[in-house]
Chains A and B, each alone.
Chain A
Amino acid sequence: MGDSVRLAVAASERAERISRAVLAALFVLFALTFAAVALVRGDTFFFRLATEALILGGVAMAVDVLLGYAGLLTLGHALFFGLGAYVSALVLKETPSFWLAMGATLCVATLVGLLAGVVFIRARGVYFALITFGLAQVVFKAVYNTRELGGSDGIIGVPQIDIPLGLLTVSASSPGSFFLLTLIFVMLLYCFLAWWMRTPLGRLLVAVRVNESRVPFLGFAPWRVKLAAFVMAAIVAALCGALYPMLRGLVSPELLTFQTSGNAVIMVILGGVGTLIGPLYGAALLTGLKSVIGTWTEHHLMIIGALFMLSVIFLPKGFAGAVLPRLRRYFAGEASNASLTKKDAGH
């Protein structure tokens, strides 16, 4: 009986993996189609907007690591996004080097993530949401009032850089190539996180979300797992933030506002919580909606808010959460000859 159960679990996990890979591949395909259309039409504005959507999608992915896997709702992830953006902008103004900016961001984000994480993960449930919200607001106010960081203007005039990638060099000033670079970067982050969630550590994270008080009985310390997730989410958001000044040539304290954090949460919910690829779809959807609705009314927030509420009530698992089970059933159906009946797997 043990064997058939193991087989069944393996088969269902394989189906799940394939369905997620299909969704991810579809997203890349969709992005590439968009890029081709924009390239043919010689459009710059929408290229930049789509690149921004990808960057914000990366931040949403980081929020999903916390919300979807660790069960921790963060309302202040703008903090790490802004941290990355500011560090990168400061480095780029001194030495316009892509790798130096990313390296510095990685170091600072790890450090700040560790420090904040040690404090934050002690808070549970809504307290975690409120403490992240509070700290992000404090940092926003502090940056807003610090003249050395440009105050309310932020840091402007970040030079446009050339990014050496071994054989070829990508220029951040070319909207098309920078879009592709961002797409590759975000998808690499996705692949890494998807892999990370399949490691023992990632599985422990799910265990902590499902039943935190039982994890110690298995011989693991929940706080270590949560800290790891927090630091990872900080790093991912900061690295995406580091791309922002390369795209726009400036950073402003607005990046640190609650709006950024709130949008990331909306992207996660609309796209599908706990799926990692969902938040990227959510980012595309939200950015698309904003620019489409924005052409005929400036009150797009009302529609987005209503959509968000409807999603919370009727589709709490979001787009990917609705599509994935269908895909999974399809792929599991293909592999259903793996000799499994309910009776075999019975208790």
Chain B
Amino acid sequence: MHGGACMNELLESLQFIYGPQIANGLAIGMAVVLMALGLTIIFGLLDVINMSHGEFYALGAYLAVTLAGQGVNFWFCLVLVPLLMAAIGYFTERTLIQRVFHSKDRHILTLLLTFGLAIITEDLFKLGYGPNPYKPESPIPGASELFGIMLPNYRVFLIVAGSCIIVAVWMLVYRTRLGAMVRAAAWDKHMAASLGVPVERVYAGTFAFGVALAGLSGVLLAPIYSVFPTMGKDFILMAFTVVIVGGMGSIKGAVIAGLLLTQVQSISSLFISPVWSEPLVFGIMVLFLIVRPQGLAGRLGHG
């Protein structure tokens, strides 16, 4: 009898406390993974730490808000914004990154350059949209019950759509000719070039792809969080943490680390004050950098 009560209590806490928390963490985890995928692919191929990735994410959200203001349907935005972002990413790589790409201090110079770009873009958001947050309406209102857990419909959609996109990215990189070119260029760019891979265009295309992913997560997360100028900065830390813990340049690592770390964050906030769950996650990142700097998995194209 006593055991039954205990069991019941456990089930109830699973249903009403842990379940929703895990599911919400999963929804946010999907968006974090999408953003981290962009970062990690750009690093894996170009060896560039994109400090403006958070601002590209914010730009995606702002574009969605702007288009929605023009009466464009959310679902259409979901396709249009990543396309626009890809064009912006391609342009950025060609006009900015390429300028310092071949210098000796490429790591530091590209990091500084994208850092400068982040400063400008954030200020542009403030100029164009003001400091106040926008809160787009949820495209799928309401909530439904899944396995006895009440979940907002939009979060369910986010989990499903996120999983599909992650699988698609993986397929693209590991199962297509285009992906093989990208991996070849990451492995040995001179050899790839001599085999006829247009390395320069692959570089720009990959950067564009990463930026489009950041923009896509911006569109997807906008209805959950608000859209405000410094939203990228708040998010980039988490994305960097995921990339470092997962292993820079690793797609598999980014997915595992992204889902794990967002779970750590959302479950730990049940036990300790939420303000401390962020330092906890960064603590894990610092620990990883000390103990296992290569992260959970290896680099893109490197096994």
Residues on A lying within 8 angstroms of B by beta carbon are: 67, 73, 119, 122-123, 125-127, 129-131, 133-135, 137-138, 141-142, 145, 258, 262, 265, 269, 299, 301-302, 304-306, 308-309, 312-313, 316
**CB–CB A302/B123 < 8 A:** yes
**CB–CB A302/B240 < 8 A:** no
Q: Are A141 and B279 CB-contacts (below 8 A) given A130-B49, A302-B120? A: yes
Whole-angstrom distance between the Cβ of A124 and the nearest chain B Cβ: 8
Q: Add 11 more A-B contacts to A122-B293, A129-B111, A145-B275 (CB < 8 A).
A: A123-B290, A126-B111, A130-B240, A134-B240, A301-B123, A302-B123, A302-B127, A305-B119, A305-B123, A309-B120, A313-B96
29 A-B pairs with CB atoms under 8 Å apart are A73-B108, A122-B293, A123-B289, A123-B290, A126-B107, A127-B293, A130-B240, A131-B285, A134-B240, A134-B244, A134-B286, A138-B282, A138-B286, A141-B275, A142-B279, A258-B233, A262-B119, A299-B127, A301-B120, A302-B119, A302-B124, A304-B119, A305-B123, A306-B116, A308-B112, A309-B96, A312-B116, A313-B99, A313-B113
**CB–CB B289/A306 < 8 A:** no
Which residue of chain B lies nearest to A131 when distances are taken between CB atoms in the complex? B289
Q: How far is the CA of A302 from the CA of B116 in the complex (A)?
A: 9
List 10 A-B pairs, minimum CB-CB distance, nearest first: A305-B119, A309-B116, A305-B120, A302-B123, A301-B123, A308-B116, A138-B282, A131-B289, A145-B275, A138-B279
**CB–CB B282/A312 < 8 A:** no
Residues of A within 8 A of B233 (CB): 258
Q: How far is the CA of A269 from the CA of B285 in the complex (A)?
A: 28
Main secondary structure of the interface of B (DSSP, over half): helix
Which residue of chain B lies nearest to A123 when distances are taken between CB atoms in the complex? B289
| Cβ-neighbour of A312 out of B112, B123, B126, B273 (below 8 A) | B112
Whole-angstrom distance between the Cβ of B96 and the nearest chain A Cβ: 7
The answer to the question of B21 belonging to the interface, with a C-beta cut-off of 8 Å to chain A, is no
Q: Are A301 and B109 CB-contacts (below 8 A) given A131-B289, A309-B96, A313-B100? A: no
Q: How far is the CA of A122 from the CA of B286 in the complex (A)?
A: 12
The answer to the question of B67 belonging to the interface, with a C-beta cut-off of 8 Å to chain A, is no
**CB–CB B115/A130 < 8 A:** no
Q: Are A145 and B276 CB-contacts (below 8 A) given A131-B289, A309-B113? A: yes
Whole-angstrom distance between the Cβ of A134 and the nearest chain B Cβ: 5
Q: How far is the CA of A125 from the CA of B244 in the complex (A)?
A: 13
Q: How far is the CA of A73 from the CA of B49 in the complex (A)?
A: 13
Whole-angstrom distance between the Cβ of B99 and the nearest chain A Cβ: 5
The answer to the question of B133 belonging to the interface, with a C-beta cut-off of 8 Å to chain A, is no
Whole-angstrom distance between the Cβ of B270 and the nearest chain A Cβ: 18
The answer to the question of B122 belonging to the interface, with a C-beta cut-off of 8 Å to chain A, is yes
The answer to the question of B197 belonging to the interface, with a C-beta cut-off of 8 Å to chain A, is no
Q: How far is the CA of A208 from the CA of B285 in the complex (A)?
A: 26
Residues of B within 8 A of A126 (CB): 49, 107, 111, 248
Which residue of chain A lies nearest to B121 when distances are taken between CB atoms in the complex? A305
Q: How far is the CA of A126 from the CA of B240 in the complex (A)?
A: 11
Q: How far is the CA of A262 from the CA of B96 in the complex (A)?
A: 20
**CB–CB B111/A299 < 8 A:** no
Say which size band chain B's interface belongs to: 35 or more
**CB–CB B111/A73 < 8 A:** yes
Whole-angstrom distance between the Cβ of B210 and the nearest chain A Cβ: 16
Residues of B within 8 A of A299 (CB): 123, 126-127
Q: How far is the CA of A145 from the CA of B127 in the complex (A)?
A: 30
Residues of A within 8 A of B115 (CB): 262, 265, 308
- Max count, chain B CB within 10 A of own CB: residue among A134, A301, A308: A134
**CB–CB A269/B49 < 8 A:** no
Q: How far is the CA of A308 from the CA of B275 in the complex (A)?
A: 34
**CB–CB A130/B112 < 8 A:** no
Q: How far is the CA of A145 from the CA of B274 in the complex (A)?
A: 11
- Max count, chain A CB within 10 A of own CB: residue among B111, B233, B248: B111
Residues on B lying within 8 angstroms of A by beta carbon are: 49, 96, 99-100, 103, 105, 107-109, 111-113, 115-120, 122-124, 126-127, 233, 237, 240-241, 244, 248, 273, 275-276, 278-279, 282-283, 285-286, 289-290, 293
Q: How far is the CA of A302 from the CA of B279 in the complex (A)?
A: 30
**CB–CB A301/B285 < 8 A:** no
**CB–CB A123/B293 < 8 A:** yes
**CB–CB A137/B109 < 8 A:** no
Which residue of chain B lies nearest to A298 when distances are taken between CB atoms in the complex? B126
Q: Are A308 and B119 CB-contacts (below 8 A) given A299-B126, A302-B124? A: yes
Q: How far is the CA of A138 from the CA of B233 in the complex (A)?
A: 14
Q: How far is the CA of A82 from the CA of B115 in the complex (A)?
A: 22
**CB–CB B49/A129 < 8 A:** yes
Whole-angstrom distance between the Cβ of B238 and the nearest chain A Cβ: 11
Residues of B within 8 A of A127 (CB): 244, 289, 293
Residues of B within 8 A of A302 (CB): 119-120, 123-124, 127
- Max count, chain A CB within 10 A of own CB: residue among B49, B122, B241: B49
Residues of B within 8 A of A122 (CB): 290, 293
- Max count, chain A CB within 10 A of own CB: residue among B119, B276, B293: B119
Whole-angstrom distance between the Cβ of B44 and the nearest chain A Cβ: 12
**CB–CB A138/B111 < 8 A:** no
Q: How far is the CA of A109 from the CA of B8 in the complex (A)?
A: 54
Residues of B within 8 A of A258 (CB): 233
**CB–CB A309/B107 < 8 A:** no
Residues of B within 8 A of A313 (CB): 96, 99-100, 113
**CB–CB B111/A305 < 8 A:** no
Residues of B within 8 A of A305 (CB): 116-120, 123
**CB–CB A130/B279 < 8 A:** no
Residues of A within 8 A of B244 (CB): 127, 130, 134
Q: How far is the CA of A302 from the CA of B49 in the complex (A)?
A: 21
- Max count, chain A CB within 10 A of own CB: residue among B105, B233, B289: B289
Q: How far is the CA of A141 from the CA of B111 in the complex (A)?
A: 24
Q: Are A306 and B275 CB-contacts (below 8 A) given A130-B240, A131-B289? A: no
Residues of B within 8 A of A265 (CB): 112, 115
